[in-house]
Structure 1
Amino acid sequence: MVFEKLARDRQAGLGVYVSTQLLASYSADAIIVATPTGSTAYSFAAGGPVVSPYLDAVVFTPVAPHIAFDRTVVAAVDEPIAVRVLPTSGQVAVSLDGQLRGVLNPGDWVAAYRAPVRLRLVRLVPTQFYHRLRDRFRLADSPAADPAPPFYRPSSPVPPDLAHLRLPPVPDDAAEPGPDGPR
């Protein structure tokens, strides 16, 4: 969700609230509110972080703010985020996934919060987030980049307190014992 100034000669005055508390008032070109999936697009281009899609979070990133605090804030997904157009602001356009959805006037506000039901997506081909990230940004193109060492996976069962962790899939050759036993 992007809250963007409409007039070229006027900043958007926006108050950002996290869990019903005012965090900051921004005078900026825009503010981006994104889930981890959306954070690697426009928010990243505006200086925001790359956030793993396995993390339940909401990020908001100011775009060209006119205050000293210009950092992205990462909030827990169960902390509602509200954006209010301040009285000193001009009109603000609201876009969702690049599509204009409306115009807000001073005094209007919009809240973003976790839906009661999680969206399920079907993937026809399995994807690996960090592999795609590395490829898209050419992070391993350096001559100093060595292949990763083999991932050691113990043969004993995973302890219950670690069972929730996401482990990479076992490669086909991992079943074959190496010189020091199974990998």
Structure 2
Amino acid sequence: MQVRGSVIKSIDSFVSDVHSAKYEEWKNNLSSASSLLLSSVSTSSWYPVEPGVIAPTQVLCDMFYTDKKKGAWESGRYSAKVGLTGIYKVFVLISSPTFLLKRATRVIATFYDPTDLTVADTTDNSMVIQFTELPIKNELIEYRIAGWMEMALEICGCKNLKVDITKSMAQGSSIFETTINWD
């Protein structure tokens, strides 16, 4: 159950950029394991998901959001916004939403391990993505991923976008499923 260092860095950057007035307080509220990991993280290396993503996201949600799901979602959106820059932004801008989401299996696997997902249904304006494996069954991870997908599709040019989590492994389902619609 591991996560790429770039995901951990994006959480740190999110708090530093979006909640800068309380950034130091956030860092001080992290567990010693999360603090140690954050101080030495390499974006290309793999780290345990609990101290790397779940615990820091939980602290940011507790400090800045009355709805932890919203905090995790916003953190995921930020990660996509920052991560899909440079050459990646060009790729996203010239991709159709369907093309981008069909490659989600490769993209997600570069950030979370183990991960297994499939595109269960697709039309010109919708898609259902089902994760049958995630590194851990956790609601914050699911909301981060859904938020990331939403921002990636916004960058791709989707209008009237709606991303819904329709099944949750964290809530006992055998899969994590997102249903995505756009104009």
The TM-score with structure 1 as length reference comes to: 0.26
Structure of larger gyration radius: 1
Which protein has the bigger helix share? 2
The TM-score with structure 2 as length reference comes to: 0.26
